[in-house]
């Protein structure tokens, strides 16, 4: 499996995690969309908007995502504009995560959904590569729960193990798939998976 296939598999797994919330959503907002790659792999049927302070080309075509350059603490959309708001790996990059969550809640429709996907601080691969190596402030489950649950009703949590592995060749395919399978399905180990996923309804009131 070459690096491009690892990237494809990575985004397909992320997209699969948000798919239940995508169903039926007519207006979708991706907060911190980067180059828009998630839009391409999620393949939504609704109208998909992406917002980022530093938009990057190359991930999604114009017909796949409507890109808007903006600060996530001041989203340029009316109240209750979206059926689904996503934030994937964006909250650990902003200076004021509570303000971003407040904006996410503001632009989500009363019956809308919010999905947050964030890197797990204690994942062994991510911790050494990104937390120590690149000074990323990844979230622990406890910190993320305190941040997002005040804005959600019926929050549902899950974990997922996936990376863009710096290896090529099909010889790595089975060992990596086995590693991910064991991480995701073994109690206690699954709390170290690379991604924390939380989805819930926008909290009323």
For residue 153, give both structure tokens: 């009703």
What is the second-level CATH architecture of the domain 3-202? 3-Layer(aba) Sandwich (3.40)
The CA distance from 203 to 53, in Å, is 26
Determine contact, residues 139/120, Cβ cutoff 8 Å.
Answer: yes
The CA distance from 192 to 127, in Å, is 10
The CA distance from 82 to 59, in Å, is 22
Q: If you average pLDDT over every residue of the chain, what do you get?
A: 92
Determine contact, residues 117/197, Cβ cutoff 8 Å.
Answer: yes
Residue 2 has pLDDT above 50, yes or no: no
For residue 97, give both structure tokens: 């995560």
Residue 72 has pLDDT above 70, yes or no: yes
Determine contact, residues 89/130, Cβ cutoff 8 Å.
Answer: no
For residue 113, give both structure tokens: 């959904």
Across 73-80, average pLDDT: 97
State pLDDT tens for residues 138-170.
Answer: 999 999 999 999 999 999 999 999 998 888 778
Q: Which pLDDT does position 84 carry in this prediction?
A: 97
State pLDDT tens for residues 112-143.
Answer: 999 999 999 999 999 999 999 999 999 999 99
State pLDDT tens for residues 171-197.
Answer: 888 999 999 999 999 999 999 999 999
Q: Which pLDDT does position 166 carry in this prediction?
A: 83
Can you list the alpha helix ranges (DSSP code H) found in the chain? 3-22, 37-42, 97-107, 124-126, 133-134, 141-148, 173-185
Domain ranges of the chain: 3-202
118's enclosing H/E stretch is strand 108-119
State pLDDT tens for residues 33-70.
Answer: 998 989 988 888 899 999 999 888 777 777 889 999 99
Determine contact, residues 33/65, Cβ cutoff 8 Å.
Answer: yes
Residue 1 has pLDDT above 50, yes or no: no
Across 64-86, average pLDDT: 96
Q: Which pLDDT does position 3 carry in this prediction?
A: 53
Q: Which pLDDT does position 57 carry in this prediction?
A: 74
């Amino acid at each position: 499996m070459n690096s491009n296939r690892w990237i494809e598999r990575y985004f397909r797994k992320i997209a699969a995690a948000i798919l239940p919330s995508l169903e039926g959503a007519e207006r979708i907002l991706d907060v911190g969309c980067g180059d828009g790659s998630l839009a391409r792999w999620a393949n939504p049927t609704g109208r998909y908007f992406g917002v980022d302070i530093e938009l990057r080309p190359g991930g999604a075509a114009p017909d796949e995502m409507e890109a808007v350059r903006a600060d996530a603490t001041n989203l340029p959309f009316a109240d209750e504009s979206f059926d689904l708001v996503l934030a994937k790996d964006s909250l650990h990059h902003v200076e004021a995560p509570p303000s971003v969550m407040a904006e996410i809640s503001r632009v989500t429709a009363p019956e809308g959904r919010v999905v947050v996907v964030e890197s797990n601080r204690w994942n062994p691969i991510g911790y050494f590569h990104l937390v120590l190596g690149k000074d990323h402030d990844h979230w622990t489950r406890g910190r993320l729960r305190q941040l997002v649950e005040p804005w959600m009703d019926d929050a549902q949590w899950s974990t997922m193990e996936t990376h863009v592995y710096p290896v090529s060749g099909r010889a790595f395919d089975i060992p990596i798939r086995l590693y991910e399978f064991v991480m995701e399905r073994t109690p206690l180990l699954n709390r170290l998976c690379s991604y924390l996923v939380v989805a819930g309804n926008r909290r009323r009131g």
